[in-house]
Structure 1
Amino acid sequence: MNDDKHTGRIHVPILARVEGEGALEVSIREGRLEDLKLRIFEPPRLFEKLLEGRSAQDVIDSVARICGICPVAYQMSAVAALEAILGITPSSWVARMRRVMYCGEWLQSHSLHIHLLAAPDFLGFDSAPAMATRHPDEVRRGLRLQGLGNAIIRTFGGRSVHPVGVCPGGFFRAPDASAMAALRARLEASRDESLALIDWVAGLPFPEDDQEFVSVSLRHERDYPITEGWIVSDRGLDIPIDDYEQHFREFQVPHSTALHALLDDRPYLVGPLARLNNNLDRLPAELRDRLEATGIRFPSRNMFHSIIARAVEMHLALNEALRLTEDYATTTAPHVEAVPRAGVGFGCTEAPRGILWHRYTLDARGLVESARIVPPTSQNQARMEEDLATALTRFGLERDDDALRLHGEMVIRNYDPCISCATHFLDFHALRG
């Protein structure tokens, strides 16, 4: 590119360190951003149609296959919706252990993103292996914490990828006391590492990039939201999960096979930064103090502070798993039997990447008549485009295409998009004229 009038294209077939495939197309004319499109071009996976005619257990096992990174989130949103139809109230033991299992997913997913996907951007490396040559201890710590998260999931689900332990009314089996004692020992040994991670992440060089956006998350009467709550925003939204469709609208854009979503006709943010912005007061006091000691203030309007929110949530998840398994006693009744019946049910939980909303309609035999699943990444699509337009303009549209491409990739990776949950991601086209 020799001048602003030149027209050129840059092709990057796959965006590194993002799950999925797609394309980013930017048009620049006379030094101004004329158009920006985040293209997702894989065909739809049709999971909602595949669930029709399936039993409740088939749904729980099937939705775990939507994502290898966050299968627990899909199972927990699904089982909550199905239990609402079947008239099942999980026991206190089941509710606590489901939260523990979900904490395992937060640990493994957040650790993977921080250490293998996002941190190399902030430190100027093109990959995690390259970063490991200069920061080997930090990468090893990240892999240990990720492994701990997988161990938690495996304890309840039989395996860490596509677990099979969840059923309507609870779990197929309860972990025995010795398995839980071994898991707790690992959790205790990792507390200092998760605290050190917060300090390390807070010391990364963050671009100054404050923006205006709407934070949307769950809210719980006393806990930091993971498995349940109602839907709130920092602009006054306060609704039960059943009312989601009355306020949020999904729609198709011509340049993408992935749906976009709006709240009252404007983009919004879900995920760790939105959760922390809306639920700072639900953190334990000692964790709030540790966060404040970093010198970075929350609520934050800097999207790049999402990585700090992830580190904070990792320590929270580790401590929650310890708290909920203290004086652990196994149970002879890990689930109650479900009796099929017709109805409509809703489920919404906080996946690592944000609220994950499900709605199911069952017939009298307990089989699915219709299903709707709204993943967090698709909810962030419109916000990502809005962020890219703002961030690239501030970064400097006069910069060369390689610099713009790398900064655009950094912005996208910061959302930790799991595009395969809905479709799949990066060709980059910069059109100048």
Structure 2
Amino acid sequence: MTSRRIRIDVPALTRVEGEGSLRLEVRDGQLVELGLSIFEPPRYFEKFLEGREAKEVVDIVARICGICPVAYQMSALNALESLSAQMASPWVQQMRRVFYCGEWLQSHALHIHLLALPDFLGFDSAISMAGQHPDEVKRGLKLQGQGNALIRLFGGRSVHPVGARLGGFHHAPAPEEVAALVAKLQAAQQDARELTRFCAALPLPDDPQAFTCVALHHPDRYAIESGEIRTSTGLSLSADQFEQHFHETHKPDSTALWSDLDGQPYLTGPLARLNINHSQLPDFLQTRLSEIGLTLPSDNMFHSLIARALEIELVLHEAIRLLEEYEYPASPYTALSLEPGTGCGMSEAPRGLLWHRYELDKKGLIKSARIVPPTSQNQARIEADLHRSLTAFGLDHDEEALRLRAEQVIRNYDPCISCATHFLTLERVET
């Protein structure tokens, strides 16, 4: 009997937190072992929060991720503010959605243009792609720049923003500053339309598979900054019911936590959101779905690329809609009093559901904290996808072809992992 073992390793990079490896073992043309291991050094953020005042949390969690700090801030605020009998003002709620739109815009633009497109255009990086596709790279940087500008508008800066606080924001932007940015966002809509059409026209692999989708759902709008959990299996859950169905475990060969939904892998992120909430897309995006021929729900994970492009169009539309009616508030925040207890909150980070839980003591200090990011939630789904996709692709391909397909699969899920998998090395041992 001939056995072929393929090992794919992801080395540590300065711009990526952690290490990972993919192990494949093929015997007689059958995939008998597949293991995705993620090696992440301890970060201790949950422990850092213990003993801190509640008001400090929002700035500390913004440091967890340089790509999606707003997501960590909004999930934390949703959790902490659930311990108050008061609510943030309608102005604050609307501007938080705008703030979050900026993060989706910059993150999706980064992922599509700099991480995913080289896969489908035949390049090993965006830098090498830029020589033959300069307009695509420029478009991505322009869209990402507009997202950063939206984050700065309320956050003071685009990386680890400092403008958010309990009850709202530390400051409100001037109307003339808002009007100037609205004009730029309106100009960016043409780029966004072209991006969706461009992504839909790419020769994406046809790789249907069954998976469970998990995303927030809001009765009045496409869920971003708030909502309740919906699953494609029929569950509807509040934030404080999360732990009844979602569980994290350690794997022997991985330092990262792995999540399951009632014992099964699941998908969270752009395609899951679109599958669950596509009926809430505005009319012009319903027309776009027909134009590009995308039928939802989709069972092809490679449609995540198109989902991100559609969500770029969505958040540009939402930010413009809300900022066109912008009025300078009497106060950019509502003073909230928090009661001791346990508060849970969640929101939709660009790459999926982000859930927080905080226990607050009688002194107003954080007694315990738990944060479940989308990366750990998707890891079991990634492994299942790799097994299915590589088998369908054909295990008789050479190492380079298998490596590229594995990288493409991984890049569909998380930009942080995506950066690392551009540098996968492969070791083959045959016995």
Correspondence 1:259-270 to 2 at 5 A: 259-270=257-268
Following superposition, which runs of at least 4 residues in structure 1 exceed 4 angstroms of deviation? 6-12, 14-20, 425-433
Contact 1:278 1:299 in 2 (8 A): yes
Query: Could you tell me which residue of structure 1 aligns to residue 109 of structure 2?
Result: 111
Is the 1:28–1:432 contact (alpha carbons within 8 Å) kept by the matching residues of 2? no
CA, structure 1 residues 12+356, in 2 after alignment: closer, same or farther (shift >3 Å)?
closer
What is the correspondence of 1:355-374 to structure 2 with a 5 Å cutoff? 355-374=353-372
1:56 aligns with one of 45, 54, 59: 54
Query: What are the within-5 Å matches in structure 2 for residues 147-296 of structure 1?
Result: 147-296=145-294
**1:228 is aligned with what amino acid?**
S
- The DSSP-based 3-state class of the residue aligned with 2:256 is coil
Deviates further, 167-176 or 34-43 = 34-43
> Which deviations, in whole Å up to 9, do the C-alpha atoms of 1:128-178 show, x marking residues without a partner?
011111211111111000000000000100000000000001000101111
> Which amino acid in 2 is paired with 1:264?
D
Q: Relative to 1, partners in 2 of residues 1:305 and 1:169: Cα closer, same or farther, differing over 3 Å?
A: same
Structure 2 partner of 1:140: 138
**Partner residue of 1:378 out of 367, 376, 379:** 376
Write the distance in 2 (CA, Å) between the matches of 1:41 and 1:238: 33
Paired AA for residue 319 in structure 2? A
Contact kept, 8 Å, 1:27 with 1:432, in 2: the verdict is: no
Match of 2:315 in 1: 317
Instruction: Indicate if the aligned counterparts of 1:123 and 1:205 stay in contact, CA closer than 8 A.
Output: no
Question: 1:25 aligns to what?
Answer: 23
Structure (1/2) with the larger strand percentage: 2
How far off its partner does 1:299 sit? Answer: 1.0
What amino acid is the match of 1:298? L
TM-score under structure 2 normalisation?
0.95
Is the CA contact 2:6–2:24 (under 8 Å) kept in the aligned structure 1? no
Conservation of the 8 A alpha-carbon contact between 1:14 and 1:426:
no
The one of the two structures with greater contact order (alpha-carbon pairs below 8 A, sep at least 6) is 1
Q: Deviations over 1:247-278 (max 9, x none)?
A: 11111111111111111111000000000000
- TM-score, normalised to structure 1, is 0.95
Unaligned runs of 5+ in 1: none
- Which of 24, 32, 37 is the matching residue for 1:34? 32
Distance 1:25 1:66, change over 3 A: same
CA apart distance, 1:54: 0.8
CA distance in 2, matches of 1:156, 1:8: 48
Task: Please say if residues 18 and 417 of structure 1, whose CA atoms lie closer than 8 Å, have aligned partners that are also in contact.
Answer: no
Check conservation: 1:111, 1:145, Cα contact below 8 A.
Answer: yes
- Cα gap change, 1:355 to 1:38, in 2 (>3 Å): same
Q: After TM superposition, give the deviation of residue 192 of structure 1 in Å.
A: 1.2
Deviation at 1:87, TM superposition (A): 3.0
SS in 2 for 1:65: coil
Partner of 1:126: 124
Whole-angstrom distance in 2 between the partners of 1:72 and 1:272: 17
- Provide the residue aligned with 2:391 in structure 1: 393
Q: Distance in 1 between matches of 2:34 and 2:407?
A: 14
- The amino acid that maps onto 1:381 is Q
**Is this contact kept in 1: 2:105–2:146, CA < 8 A?**
yes
Is the CA contact (8 Å cut-off) linking 1:81 and 1:346 kept in structure 2? yes
What is the match of residue 410 of structure 2? 412
Corresponding residue number in structure 2 for 1:353 = 351
How far off is 1:426 after superposition?
Answer: 4.3
SS of 1:22 mapped into structure 2: strand
What SS class does the counterpart of residue 268 from structure 2 fall into?
coil
Partners of 1:55 and 1:419 in 2: how far apart? 33
Measured in 1, the distance between the counterparts of 2:328 and 2:79 equals 26
What is aligned with 1:336?
334
Structure 1 stretch displaced more, 300-309 or 36-45: 36-45
Alpha carbons of structure 1 residues 10 and 272: separation in structure 2 relative to 1, 3 Å: closer
2:305 corresponds to which of 294, 304, 307: 307
User: Alignment RMSD, CA only?
Assistant: 1.9
Q: Deviations over 1:368-408 (max 9, x none)?
A: 00101000010000000000001111111111112111110
In structure 2, do the counterparts of structure 1 residues 175 and 13 end up closer, same or farther at CA, with 3 Å as the change threshold? Answer: same
